Chain A
Amino acid sequence: MNDTLADLRVVELSRTAAAAFAGRLCASAGAEVVLVEPPDGHPLRREGPFLRDEPNVETSAAHLHINAGKRSVIIDIDTDAEALRTLLNSADVFVTDLYAHVLDPFGLGWAALHKRRPSLVMTRVTPFGDNGPFAPYAGTNITGLASGGQLKITGDPDKPPLSNFGAQAEYQAGLSAFAGTVANLLLRDETGEGEYLDLSMQDVIATNLEHRSPALNLGLEANRVGLTVSATYGVYACADGWVYVTAFAPALWGRLLSVIEMPELRDGRFSTQSARLENNDELQALIATWTITKSSAELHGLALRGYPLTVMTTPAMLLESEQWRTRHVARRITHPVGGAYDLIGAPWLDDDTVTLAPAPRLGEANEELLGTRTGARA
Chain B
Amino acid sequence: MDWRSGRLPLKGLRVIDWSVYWAGPYLGMMLHDLGAEVIKIESPSNWDPMRTVIDVNKYAGASAKPLTAQERSNTNQHYNEWNRGKRSFAVELKEPRGRELLLKLAAHSQIVIENHRPGAKEKLRIGYDDVRAVRPDVIYLSLSGFGQTPPERDAMALGAPVELASGLFSLNGYRDSATPAKTGFSYGDPVGALTAVSAVLLAVRSWRKAGQGRNIDVSMRDALAFGIGAAFTDWSLNGTDRPRRGNRHPSFAPQGVYRTKGADEWVAISVCDDNEWRQLAGLIGADGAMTTEQRRLAHDELDALIEAWTSQRAAREIESTLQAVGVPCAAVLDYPQLAVDPQLAARGAFQKIEHPVFGTEVRSSNQWQRGDDAQPVGMPAPCFGADNRYVLGEILGMPQDEIEALERDGVIGSAILAPAE
Q: Once the chains are docked, how many angstroms separate the CA of A166 from the CA of B169?
A: 11
Residue contact A154 to B183, C-beta cutoff 8 Å? yes
Query: Which residues of chain B come closer than 8 Å to A53, judged between CB atoms?
Result: 238
Residue contact B272 to A219, C-beta cutoff 8 Å? no
Which residue of chain A has the shortest Cβ distance to B167 in the bound complex? Answer: A315
Q: Does A81 count as interface, using CB distance less than 8 angstroms?
A: no
Q: A182-B198, A186-B208, A347-B226 are in contact. Are A219 and B62 (CB under 8 A)?
A: yes
Residue contact A149 to B333, C-beta cutoff 8 Å? yes
Q: A149-B335, A303-B155, A304-B152 are in contact. Are A213 and B162 (CB under 8 A)?
A: no
Q: Does A289 count as interface, using CB distance less than 8 angstroms?
A: no
Chain B facing A: main interface SS: mixed
Q: Once the chains are docked, how many angstroms separate the CA of A178 from the CA of B191?
A: 13
Which residue of chain B has the shortest Cβ distance to A359 in the bound complex? Answer: B233
Total A-B pairs, Cβ < 8 A: 472
Residue contact B330 to A189, C-beta cutoff 8 Å? no
**Per-residue A-contact encoding for B264-283, CB less than 8 Å = 1, 0 else:** 10111110100010000000
Residue contact A61 to B234, C-beta cutoff 8 Å? yes
Contact residues of A between 30 and 72, Cβ < 8 Å to B: 43, 46-49, 51-53, 59, 61-62, 64-66
**Per-residue B-contact encoding for A318-349, CB less than 8 Å = 1, 0 else:** 11011100110110100000111111101111
Q: Does B165 count as interface, using CB distance less than 8 angstroms?
A: yes
Residue contact A133 to B346, C-beta cutoff 8 Å? yes
Which residue of chain A has the shortest Cβ distance to B194 in the bound complex? Answer: A175
**Per-residue B-contact encoding for A131-144, CB less than 8 Å = 1, 0 else:** 11111011111111
Residue contact B56 to A248, C-beta cutoff 8 Å? no
- Min CB–CB distance A367 → chain B (angstroms): 28
Q: Does B53 count as interface, using CB distance less than 8 angstroms?
A: yes
- Of A84-92, A194-202, A261-269, the segment with at least 4 beta carbons within 8 Å of chain B is A194-202
- Min CB–CB distance B85 → chain A (angstroms): 14
Q: Does A106 count as interface, using CB distance less than 8 angstroms?
A: no
Residue contact A138 to B204, C-beta cutoff 8 Å? no
- Min CB–CB distance B359 → chain A (angstroms): 10
Residue contact A48 to B251, C-beta cutoff 8 Å? yes
Residue contact A313 to B165, C-beta cutoff 8 Å? yes
Q: Does B174 count as interface, using CB distance less than 8 angstroms?
A: yes
Residue contact B331 to A312, C-beta cutoff 8 Å? no
Q: Lowest 7 CB-CB distances: which A-B pairs, in order? A: A132-B346, A153-B184, A215-B335, A213-B81, A244-B161, A310-B161, A342-B236
Residue in contact with A210 in the complex, picked from B7, B189, B238, B363, CB distance below 8 Å: B189
| Residue of B62, B154, B156, B160 most packed against chain A (CB within 10 A) | B156
Contact residues of B between 41 and 56, Cβ < 8 Å to A: 49, 53-54, 56
- Of B93-101, B103-111, B241-249, B393-401, the segment with at least 4 beta carbons within 8 Å of chain A is B241-249
Query: Which residues of chain A come closer than 8 Å to B249, judged between CB atoms?
Result: 140-142
Give the size range of B's interface with the partner.
35 or more
Residue in contact with A214 in the complex, picked from B78, B183, B205, B264, CB distance below 8 Å: B78
Q: Does B371 count as interface, using CB distance less than 8 angstroms?
A: yes
- Min CB–CB distance A3 → chain B (angstroms): 9
Q: Does B329 count as interface, using CB distance less than 8 angstroms?
A: yes
Contact residues of B between 62 and 89, Cβ < 8 Å to A: 62-63, 77-78, 80-81
Residue contact A146 to B170, C-beta cutoff 8 Å? no
**Per-residue A-contact encoding for B153-185, CB less than 8 Å = 1, 0 else:** 011111011101111111111100001111111
Residue contact B198 to A344, C-beta cutoff 8 Å? no
Residue contact B22 to A210, C-beta cutoff 8 Å? yes
- Of B124-132, B211-219, B384-392, B406-414, the segment with at least 4 beta carbons within 8 Å of chain A is B211-219
**Per-residue B-contact encoding for A89-103, CB less than 8 Å = 1, 0 else:** 000000000000000
- Of A223-231, A279-287, A368-376, the segment with at least 4 beta carbons within 8 Å of chain B is A223-231
Residue in contact with B332 in the complex, picked from A161, A207, A316, CB distance below 8 Å: A161
Query: Which residues of chain A come closer than 8 Å to B219, judged between CB atoms?
Result: 327, 349
Q: Does A74 count as interface, using CB distance less than 8 angstroms?
A: no
Query: Which residues of chain A come closer than 8 Å to B196, judged between CB atoms?
Result: 348
- Min CB–CB distance B275 → chain A (angstroms): 11
Q: Does A180 count as interface, using CB distance less than 8 angstroms?
A: yes
| Residue of A53, A327, A347 most packed against chain B (CB within 10 A) | A347
Q: Does A295 count as interface, using CB distance less than 8 angstroms?
A: no
Query: Which residues of chain A come closer than 8 Å to B57, judged between CB atoms?
Result: 218
| Residue of B81, B155, B258 most packed against chain A (CB within 10 A) | B155
Q: A180-B1, A303-B156, A313-B170 are in contact. Are A211 and B257 (CB under 8 A)?
A: no
Contact residues of B between 1 and 46, Cβ < 8 Å to A: 1-3, 7-10, 22, 30, 34
| Residue of B173, B257, B276, B363 most packed against chain A (CB within 10 A) | B257
